[in-house]
Amino acid sequence: MTTVETRLTEFTDNNEKPVGYGRMLRKEDPRLIRGQGNFVDDVNLPGMLHLAILRSPMAHARIKSIDTTAAAALEGVVAIVTGADLAEKGLAWMPTLSNDVQAVLATDKVRFQGQEVAFAIAKSRYIARDAIELINVDYEILPPVVDVRKALDPDAALIRDDLKDKTNNHCFDWETGDAAATQAVFDKADVVVTQEIIYPRVHPAPMETCGAVALFDAVEGQLTLWSTTQAPHAHRTVYALVSGLPEHKIRIIAPDIGGGFGNKVPIYPGYVCAIVAALVTGKPVKWMEDRSENLVSTGFARDYIMNGEIAATKDGKILAVRTHVLADHGAFNGTAAPIKYPAGFFGVFTGSYDLEAAYCSMTAVYTNKAPGGVAYACSFRITEAVYLIERMVDCLAYDLKMDPVELRLKNFIKPEQFPYTTKTGWVYDSGEYERGMRLAMELAGYDELRKEQEEKRSRGELMGIGVSFFTEAVGAGPRKDMDILGLGMADGCELRIHPTGKAVLRLSVKSQGQGHETTFAQIVAEEIGIPPSDIQVLEGDTDNTPFGLGTYGSRSTPVSGAAAALVARKVRDKAQIIASGMLEVSVADLEWEKGSFHVKGDPSKSVTIQEIAFKSYGAGDLPEGVEGGLEAQICYNPSNLTYPFGAYICVVDIDPGTAVVKVRRFIAVDDCGTRINEMIIEGQVHGGLADGVGMALMEMIAFDEDGNCLGASLMDYLIPTALEVPDWETGHTVTPSPHHPIGAKGIGESATVGSPPAIVNAVVDALKPFGIRHADMPLTPSRVWETMQGRHVPSI
């Protein structure tokens, strides 16, 4: 089945909403669209103070002294706190999600521009901001390590002298696959193509920046933190471990979140500062980053230099892929990924192809740049992996003079090979790749496009057609393999049906815009036949939701979606027993029809789920051994990841005079298994595709040689607008996940993962007449023009 771009008029309106899966408007939207959302910055408490953070203007410098006298004397200032003050409380350093440590406030040195140095607490945001300008820090400038390729040079300045016995800027080494077997395959290959591919540092730049409001009740010893977090439960546990406050006295509330994309997974120094400020002053304290602070200091993404090698036969059978990656992790390893996966899920760099061997080695280093690494809708580094393989396949097609689609079709893993274990050990659950690829070609009119391109080329016009095919791996755990700081990646879910048949579903994940209140209500509706509008979905508040690891890596539907379906089935099972009592037949004699049980062979004898609910709380006895009430809870531990996939085709035109790239068409065929709400799926895809245009054409966090961040505002760090993106043409196939209770796979990041290579492949394809096989992102007009001149592209 295919769909092509949905128009507004086709929306099913909520008056005819489905009881279960189907297209319906989002339940959360009336609130958000009318400005009635409740974001962290909307939280205003009586007597609340404001916190502003002084950040380092230098990338690398020793702090000789800090003078806070003038700042402390400013009217309206309540306190100034420095790293030394935190050190006294043992809070100057905190753990990162990657078992490294990160300074909350710098005590010894600053290690990146924008690092937290001190903070002011004042009666207003304005005064707090004025106060930090009065703090006088005496820095001794140290040579910064900016160029990642020079980070391990013997004469490079040592960044992490805080770590015991550390003598260089090495962060970690990692490898996957079989080096020897891969070498053997490379030795026998007819063709080997080598290409250095850079995925530059980018930033998720959510519309809402990070922030928190901390409230400490000294009498109860209770800390409440409203916080921009994608993982409220994990954060609470970490705060408990770090601060020593008992976990049951910490309540994290993630209210409405204005975009996350991974940016709101880590714990940032600002949150800790807000908590400290509340403890110190006894008053509620708000900290809210401004745009520049968000861009310069919070979780960036990518920053991989990948040396790709691909081996094939001369007729285009891909045999093996090998890569060495140099990874820039910034000043602290703040990567948010399952702990046994320091390179995230980069191991899926073998892509959608049936290979004989694969090997990757990686060297990660520290530099004087902001920490982070996994963010921006990347499914734990699958963006990098897919970009590498899909560029390498195109480089191979270029060298073999083969059509890039033909090459892909020739090498896809076949449907009958699933479950398929890759040479790096990933077990792809299901896939039908050729079907998706062919559908995309059909929607695009691939053959006609190639003809058009040929004609245009003969006239000197530059038109490019780019293809990418991706396989995603989303929905972490299972818990035996995946944990974050020792917390297993499994998620709880609770469902309660009220006496009148309305319901409340409590989730451990947390929407940042993905539409959980709708999708999860629909999942439950499908299972127990209560309309989605009758199901309230609660999430984000650790005091009234079950434990779980949160929303990132497209894991909500694969993990919590499964939990929601299973908890609903558990409720339905209990409802069936109660129904058997009500209808006076045995459980086995009942048949379920969405929303009611009836006696087999006699549909007139039936009870609705609402009637059963009332009975479960009502007067009179229930069947033997059945407790009152209609509710259940579970914790879902996924047995494997789910593996969504998709085929993308992009058409670009390049103005030969100015080198400006125009994305003319973009065809996206996605397979996320069972589709719950088409509109939400398409929305996720549209957003991710726009992200892809941004990364491919304009986004980059660059640094000058002193380590100054050149992307510190949205004037410098560009994100695409409606004018840079075409009308998306979307289609889909459905290959349900065999191990997921409803066959659903994640969709949140597919388009961000799959679209950059399609766009870059299209641009490179357009430049074929110039003899160009590769060009690095972002493909700004200047970079494209320089590439056309055959010149090496500059670093900025």
Partner 1 sequence: MQVPAPFQYARATTVDHAIELLNEGGDGARIVAGGHSLLPMMKLRLANFDTLIDINGLHDELGYIRQEGNEIRIGSMTRHRELLESDLLATTFPIFRDAEHVIADPVVRNRGTLGGSLCQADPSEDLSAVCTTLDASCVIRGRDGERVVSMEDFHRGPYETAVGDAEMLVEIRVPIRPGGSSAYFKVERRAGDWAVASSGAAVWMSNGVISDARVGLAAVGPNTTGIPAISEALRGRAPSEELFAQAGALAAQACSPAVDMRGTVEYKRHLADELTRRALRKSVERINEQGA
Q: List residues binding partner 1 (CB under 8 A).
A: 41, 125-126, 129-130, 133, 288, 290-292, 657-660, 697-698, 700, 702, 710, 713, 715-716, 718, 720-721, 723-724, 780-782, 785-786, 789, 794, 796
CB of 128 to partner 1, least distance (A): 9
CB of 789 to partner 1, least distance (A): 8
- Which CB, 41 or 162, lies closer to partner 1? 41
CB of 716 to partner 1, least distance (A): 6
Report the distance separating Cα 464 and Cα 456, nearest Å: 10
Q: What is the dihedral of CA 750, 751, 756, 760, to 10 degrees?
A: 120
Query: Residues 783, 348, 263, CA angle at the centre, nearest 5°?
Result: 65
E-state strands within 72-143: 77-82, 93-95, 101-103, 109-110, 116-122, 136-141
CB of 186 to partner 1, least distance (A): 37
3-state secondary structure of 416: helix
Report the distance separating Cα 214 and Cα 275, nearest Å: 5
CB of 796 to partner 1, least distance (A): 6
CB of 620 to partner 1, least distance (A): 59
CB of 288 to partner 1, least distance (A): 7
Dihedral sign of CA atoms 678, 679, 680, 682 in order:
positive
- Which CB, 645 or 703, lies closer to partner 1? 703
CB of 139 to partner 1, least distance (A): 19
Question: Is 47 buried (19+), middle (13-18) or exposed (0-12) by CB count in 10 A?
Answer: exposed
Report the distance separating Cα 259 and Cα 762, nearest Å: 29
**Continuous segment of H or E residues that includes residue 646:** strand 645-654
533, 28 contact by CB (below 8 A): no
CB of 356 to partner 1, least distance (A): 43
CB of 125 to partner 1, least distance (A): 6
- Which CB, 634 or 762, lies closer to partner 1? 762
CB of 261 to partner 1, least distance (A): 19
- Which CB, 157 or 702, lies closer to partner 1? 702
- Which CB, 35 or 794, lies closer to partner 1? 794
- Which CB, 65 or 789, lies closer to partner 1? 789
List residues bridging with 120 in a β-sheet: 52, 80
- Which CB, 11 or 126, lies closer to partner 1? 126
Q: How far apart are the first and last CA of the chain?
A: 44
- Which CB, 178 or 716, lies closer to partner 1? 716
Token pair recorded at residue 597 = 């049980």
DSSP state of 723: G
Report the distance separating Cα 593 and Cα 129, nearest Å: 61
CB of 458 to partner 1, least distance (A): 21
- Which CB, 129 or 410, lies closer to partner 1? 129
Strand pairing category for 462-471 and 420-421? unpaired
Query: Residues 25, 29, 32, CA angle at the centre, nearest 5°?
Result: 170
- Which CB, 537 or 719, lies closer to partner 1? 719
Token pair recorded at residue 402 = 């083969």
Contacts of 761 (CB under 8 A, 6+ apart): 390, 391, 394, 404, 464, 466, 467, 468, 650
E-state strands within 166-312: 170-177, 191-202, 211-217, 222-227, 250-253, 285-288, 300-312
CB of 293 to partner 1, least distance (A): 9
- Which CB, 2 or 782, lies closer to partner 1? 782
Calculate Rg over the CA atoms of the chain.
27
List residues bridging with 287 in a β-sheet: 51, 212
List residues bridging with 318 in a β-sheet: 312
- Which CB, 163 or 796, lies closer to partner 1? 796
CB of 52 to partner 1, least distance (A): 9
131, 53 contact by CB (below 8 A): no
- Which CB, 181 or 660, lies closer to partner 1? 660
Token pair recorded at residue 554 = 């497209």
For residue 344, which of 333, 352, 356 has the smallest C-alpha distance?
Answer: 333
- Which CB, 303 or 670, lies closer to partner 1? 303
Report the distance separating Cα 74 and Cα 763, nearest Å: 55
For residue 51, which of 238, 275, 298, 258 has the smallest C-alpha distance?
Answer: 275
- Which CB, 493 or 784, lies closer to partner 1? 784
Peptide bond into 778 cis (omega under 30): yes
Dihedral sign of CA atoms 714, 334, 559, 238 in order:
negative
CB of 44 to partner 1, least distance (A): 14
Report the distance separating Cα 588 and Cα 580, nearest Å: 9
Peptide bond into 477 cis (omega under 30): yes
CA 187 to centroid of chain Cα atoms = 38
- Which CB, 595 or 781, lies closer to partner 1? 781
Token pair recorded at residue 684 = 């996720």
CB of 437 to partner 1, least distance (A): 31
Report the distance separating Cα 105 and Cα 107, nearest Å: 6
Token pair recorded at residue 412 = 């896809």
Report the distance separating Cα 255 and Cα 614, nearest Å: 32
- Which CB, 45 or 660, lies closer to partner 1? 660
CB atoms within 10 A of CB 455: 10
- Which CB, 255 or 475, lies closer to partner 1? 255
CB of 158 to partner 1, least distance (A): 30
Question: Is 125 buried (19+), middle (13-18) or exposed (0-12) by CB count in 10 A?
Answer: middle
Token pair recorded at residue 154 = 């013997």
CB of 767 to partner 1, least distance (A): 15
